[in-house]
Amino acid sequence: MAIWAIVEDLVFRSKIETAASALGLPMHVTASAVPPPSVSPEAWQVILIDLNRSSDDPLDVVRSARRQAPSARIIGYGSHVQAGLMQAAAQAGCTVVLPRSVFVQRLPDLLLGK
């Protein structure tokens, strides 16, 4: 199982890496939608995307991830007050879109594909 997190926020990066490490899951983290070259796109089973991005359009990141890994489970998370962005992320290709608080609570299960 290969997990790719596209996240700029260091706090969320740490939370994701800690949860993946506790589960013994391989984790690759990037700040952009450019995947690590060490893993082929077909290997991505779970892709986590922080929708509260400052460096680029989060919907472009979702679409790019979906093109690169069409069968991956893409989980977007963002601020609960951005309902429009969350709905647009689902339309752009996210399998699941969650508010940040729910994402953190469910993180271990999400990493395991549940």
User: In which band, very low, low, confident or very high, does the pLDDT at 43 lie, cut at 50, 70 and 90?
Assistant: confident
Angle at 14 between CA 27 and CA 113, to 5 degrees: 45
Backbone φ, ψ for residue 38 (5° rounding):
-75, -10
Task: Please state the pTM of the whole predicted model.
Answer: 0.93
**Cβ neighbourhood burial of 36 (10 Å; 0-12, 13-18, 19+):** exposed
pLDDT at residue 51 is higher than 90: yes
What per-residue confidence (pLDDT) applies to 56? 85
Helix, strand, or coil here: 77?
Answer: strand
**Nearest-CA neighbor of 85 among 113, 55, 61?**
61
Section 76-90 average pLDDT:
92
Section 4-12 average pLDDT:
93
